[in-house]
Structure 1
Amino acid sequence: MKKKIALGVAGALALIVIVLMLLPGPSRKGLPEQAYIFHNANVITVDAKNPRAEAVAVAGGKIVFVGSSKDALALALPGAKKIDLKGKTVIPGFNDNHAHTLAAGNFYLQPLLWGKTCEEIAAVVKAEAAKKKPGELVLGNSWDYDKCPKPDKALLDAAAPDNPVFLMQYSGHAAWANSKKLKDLGIDRNTPDPKGGQIVRNEKGEPTGVLRDEAMGSSAYGDFLKALLSDERHRAIIDKALQLYRENGITSVQDNTWEPFTNRLLYRYDFAGTLTTRFDCWAQGDSVLHTLFNWFAKFDDPWVTRGPVKYFSDGAFSTRTGWLTAPYADEPGNYGSPRYTPEELTKIIMDAAATKTRLAFHAIGDRAITEVLNAIEKAQEKYPWTKDLRMRIEHVQIMKPADIERMKRLGVVACVQPFAACNPEKDVKLLGQARARTAYPYKSMLAAGVPVAIGSDAPAEVDFQPLLNIYYAVTRKTKDGAVGPLNAAECLTPEEALYCYTMGSAYAQFMENEKGSLTKGKLADLVVLSKDLTRVAPNEIKGIEVLATVTGGRIVYDKGALQ
Structure 2
Amino acid sequence: MVPLRPGDPAPRDPVDVLVEGTQVTAVGPGLPSPGSTVVGGVREVDADGRWLVPGLWDQHVHLAQWTLTSGRLDLAGAKSPEQALAQVKERVEEYPELPVIGWGHRSAGWDRDVTVSELDAVSGDTPVVLISGDGHHAWLNTTALLFLAMPVRDSVVREAEWFAAYPRLATLVGNDGTSPEAYRRTLDHAASMGVVGLVDFEFSGGVADWQERWAAGCDLLKIRMSTYAEGLDDVLTRGLRTGDPLPELDGRITMGPLKIISDGSLNTRTAWCCEPYGDAHRLEYPSGQPNLSGTELRDLLRTAHRNALEVACHAIGDAAVAEALASYADTGARGSIEHAQMVNRADVATMARLGIRASIQPAHLLDDRDLTEKIWGERSARCFAFRWMLDDGVTLAMGSDAPVSPLDPWLAMAAGVHRSADDRDAWHGEQALTPQEVLAASVDGQPMVGAGSRGDLALLDSDPLAASDSPADAATALRAMTVAATWVDGQEVYSAF
TM over 0.5: yes
Q: Could you give the per-residue CA deviations for residues 442-466 of structure 1, whole angstroms, max 9, x where no partner exists?
A: 11111111111111111122x2211
Partners of 2:73 and 2:100 within 8 A in 1 = no
- Structural RMSD (CA): 2.6
Give 1:262 deviation, angstroms. Answer: 3.0
2:243 corresponding residue in structure 1: none
* CA distance in 2: counterparts of 1:469 and 1:90, whole angstroms: 19
2:69 corresponding residue in structure 1: 107
Partners of 1:259 and 1:293 within 8 A in 2 = no
Partners of 2:108 and 2:268 within 8 A in 1 = no
Partners of 1:267 and 1:299 within 8 A in 2 = no
Establish whether residue 276 from structure 1 lines up as the match of residue 240 from structure 2. no
Partners of 2:271 and 2:289 within 8 A in 1 = yes
Partners of 2:92 and 2:100 within 8 A in 1 = yes
Compared with structure 1, are the counterparts of its residues 519 and 336 closer, same or farther at alpha carbon in structure 2 (3 Å cutoff)? same
Give 1:144 deviation, angstroms. Answer: 1.4
Establish whether residue 524 from structure 1 lines up as the match of residue 455 from structure 2. yes
* CA distance in 1: counterparts of 2:442 and 2:94, whole angstroms: 42
Compared with structure 1, are the counterparts of its residues 267 and 402 closer, same or farther at alpha carbon in structure 2 (3 Å cutoff)? same
* CA distance in 1: counterparts of 2:70 and 2:435, whole angstroms: 29
1:64 corresponding residue in structure 2: 25
1:335 corresponding residue in structure 2: 287
2:477 corresponding residue in structure 1: 540
Compared with structure 1, are the counterparts of its residues 496 and 232 closer, same or farther at alpha carbon in structure 2 (3 Å cutoff)? closer
Establish whether residue 219 from structure 1 lines up as the match of residue 165 from structure 2. yes
Letter paired with 1:427: T
1:265 corresponding residue in structure 2: 212
1:429 corresponding residue in structure 2: 374
Compared with structure 1, are the counterparts of its residues 124 and 46 closer, same or farther at alpha carbon in structure 2 (3 Å cutoff)? farther
Letter paired with 1:85: A
Q: Could you give the per-residue CA deviations for residues 306-357 of structure 1, whole angstroms, max 9, x where no partner exists?
A: 1111111001111111111111123346211211112222222233333433
2:496 corresponding residue in structure 1: 559
Give 1:500 deviation, angstroms. Answer: 0.6
* CA distance in 2: counterparts of 1:534 and 1:95, whole angstroms: 18
1:89 corresponding residue in structure 2: 51
2:413 corresponding residue in structure 1: 470
* CA distance in 2: counterparts of 1:264 and 1:533, whole angstroms: 36
Give 1:436 deviation, angstroms. Answer: 0.6
Partners of 1:267 and 1:298 within 8 A in 2 = no
Give 1:88 deviation, angstroms. Answer: 1.8
Unaligned runs of 5+ in 2: 239-245
Partners of 2:24 and 2:451 within 8 A in 1 = yes
Establish whether residue 489 from structure 1 lines up as the match of residue 427 from structure 2. no
Instruction: Count the aligned residue pairs.
Output: 468
Q: Which moved more, 1:176-185 or 1:404-413?
A: 176-185
* CA distance in 1: counterparts of 2:172 and 2:489, whole angstroms: 33
Partners of 2:274 and 2:287 within 8 A in 1 = yes
Compared with structure 1, are the counterparts of its residues 232 and 97 closer, same or farther at alpha carbon in structure 2 (3 Å cutoff)? closer
Q: Could you give the per-residue CA deviations for residues 260-317 of structure 1, whole angstroms, max 9, x where no partner exists?
A: 2432134325xx6x622110111112x1x33345557636453101111111100111
Identity %: 25
Partners of 2:64 and 2:178 within 8 A in 1 = no
Establish whether residue 187 from structure 1 lines up as the match of residue 116 from structure 2. no
Letter paired with 1:477: S
* CA distance in 2: counterparts of 1:101 and 1:545, whole angstroms: 23
Letter paired with 2:366: C
1:361 corresponding residue in structure 2: 313
Partners of 1:350 and 1:375 within 8 A in 2 = no
**Pick aligned residue for 2:131 from 165, 168, 175:** 168
The two structures have a TM-score, normalised by structure 1, of 0.77
Letter paired with 2:211: R
Q: Could you give the per-residue CA deviations for residues 344-391 of structure 1, whole angstroms, max 9, x where no partner exists?
A: 2222223333343321111111101111111111223xxxxx4xxx32
**Pick aligned residue for 1:549 from 486, 491, 497:** 486
2:194 corresponding residue in structure 1: 249
Compared with structure 1, are the counterparts of its residues 422 and 72 closer, same or farther at alpha carbon in structure 2 (3 Å cutoff)? farther
Compared with structure 1, are the counterparts of its residues 355 and 365 closer, same or farther at alpha carbon in structure 2 (3 Å cutoff)? same
2:252 corresponding residue in structure 1: 303
Letter paired with 2:461: S
Compared with structure 1, are the counterparts of its residues 495 and 219 closer, same or farther at alpha carbon in structure 2 (3 Å cutoff)? same
* CA distance in 1: counterparts of 2:184 and 2:99, whole angstroms: 24
Establish whether residue 237 from structure 1 lines up as the match of residue 237 from structure 2. no
**SS state at 1:140 partner:** strand
1:317 corresponding residue in structure 2: 266
* CA distance in 1: counterparts of 2:348 and 2:401, whole angstroms: 22
* CA distance in 1: counterparts of 2:213 and 2:453, whole angstroms: 22
Q: Could you give the per-residue CA deviations for residues 61-101 of structure 1, whole angstroms, max 9, x where no partner exists?
A: 32222222x23648731123333222222211111111111
Partners of 1:98 and 1:455 within 8 A in 2 = yes
Give 1:499 deviation, angstroms. Answer: 0.4
**SS state at 2:324 partner:** helix
Compared with structure 1, are the counterparts of its residues 354 and 558 closer, same or farther at alpha carbon in structure 2 (3 Å cutoff)? closer
**SS state at 2:225 partner:** strand
Letter paired with 1:187: P
Establish whether residue 399 from structure 1 lines up as the match of residue 343 from structure 2. yes
Unaligned runs of 5+ in 1: 1-44, 190-206, 381-385, 507-514
* CA distance in 1: counterparts of 2:364 and 2:460, whole angstroms: 24
**Pick aligned residue for 1:291 from 233, 236, 243:** 233
Compared with structure 1, are the counterparts of its residues 230 and 217 closer, same or farther at alpha carbon in structure 2 (3 Å cutoff)? closer
Letter paired with 1:215: E
Letter paired with 1:521: G
1:347 corresponding residue in structure 2: 299
The two structures have a TM-score, normalised by structure 2, of 0.86
* CA distance in 1: counterparts of 2:425 and 2:108, whole angstroms: 17
Letter paired with 1:534: L
Give 1:186 deviation, angstroms. Answer: 4.1
* CA distance in 1: counterparts of 2:134 and 2:90, whole angstroms: 24
1:159 corresponding residue in structure 2: 122
Letter paired with 2:103: N
Partners of 2:362 and 2:416 within 8 A in 1 = yes
Give 1:439 deviation, angstroms. Answer: 0.4
**SS state at 1:376 partner:** helix
2:242 corresponding residue in structure 1: none
Partners of 1:345 and 1:375 within 8 A in 2 = yes
* CA distance in 1: counterparts of 2:454 and 2:251, whole angstroms: 9
Partners of 1:446 and 1:452 within 8 A in 2 = yes
